[in-house]
Amino acid sequence: MELKLDLLSNAIDSLREALEKYEQGSEQKIRAYKFSVLHLSHFLELLFKYHVSQSHPLLIYKNPFSKNIAKENTITLWDAIQFLKNEGAEFSVDFNKDLEWLKALRNDIEHHTFELDILEVRRTLGRIIRATEEFNEHHGLLDVAKHLGGTHLKIYQELVDEYKASLANARIAAKGLTENGETYDCSGCGELGVGAYIGHEIVCQLCNAIDHLYQCFRCEDRFREDQASSWNDEYDEYICEYCSDHIFNRD
Ligand SMILES: [Zn+2]
Ligand SMILES: [Zn+2]
Residues 195, 205 contacting (CB under 8 angstroms): yes
Return the pLDDT at 6: 87
The answer to whether 18 and 39 have CB atoms below 8 angstroms apart is yes
Ligand nearest to the CA of 239: 2
User: In 35-121, where do the E strands start and end?
Assistant: none
Average pLDDT, the chain: 88
Which pLDDT tens digit goes with each residue over 44-103?
Answer: 999 999 989 988 999 999 999 999 988 899 999 999 999 999 988 888 888 888 888 888
Provide the residues around ligand 1 (an ion) whose CB is within 5 A.
186, 188-189, 204, 206-207, 209
1 pLDDT exceeds 60?
A: no
For the segment 147-176, what is each residue's pLDDT rounded down to a tens digit?
Answer: 998 999 999 998 988 888 889 899 999 999
- Which pLDDT does position 187 carry in this prediction? 87
C-beta separation of 21 from 32 below 8 A: yes
pLDDT in tens, 124-135: 888 889 888 888
Q: Name the band, by pLDDT with cuts 50, 70 and 90, for residue 251.
A: low
Q: Is the pLDDT of residue 143 over 80?
A: yes
DSSP H or E segment with residue 156: helix 150-160
3-state helix, strand, coil in the chain (%, to 5): 60, 10, 30
Q: How would you class 163 by CB atoms within 10 Å of its CB: exposed for 0-12, middle for 13-18, buried for 19 or more?
A: exposed
Q: 10 Å Cβ neighbour count for 233?
A: 7
**pLDDT at position 192:** 92
Contacts of 165 (CB under 8 A, 6+ apart): 122, 123, 126, 158, 159
39 with 17: CB under 8 angstroms? yes
Q: What distance in angstroms lies between residue 115's CA and the mean position of ligand 1's atoms? A: 29
Among the listed residues 80, 68, 1, 70, the one whose alpha carbon sits nearest the alpha carbon of residue 42 = 80
Q: How is residue 69 annotated by DSSP?
A: G
Name the residue among 61, 132, 46, 33 with its Cα closest to residue 91. Answer: 132
Ligand nearest the Cα atom of residue 215: 2
Task: Write the Ramachandran bin of 208: left for phi over 0, alpha for psi from -120 to 50, otherwise beta.
Answer: left
Which ligand is located closest to the Cα atom of residue 203?
Answer: 1
Amino acid at 194: V
118 pLDDT band (50/70/90 cuts)? confident
Measured distance CA(33)–CA(178) in Å, rounded: 22
Please give the distance, rounded to the nearest whole angstrom, from the Cα atom of residue 190 to the centre of ligand 1. 6
* pLDDT of amino acid 185: 92
Q: What is the pLDDT of residue 132?
A: 87
pLDDT tier at 137, thresholds 50, 70, 90: confident
**Angle separating helix axes 93-110 and 30-53, nearest 10 degrees:** 120
User: 205 CA distance to ligand 1 centroid (A)?
Assistant: 7
- Report the distance separating Cα 152 and Cα 173, nearest Å: 23
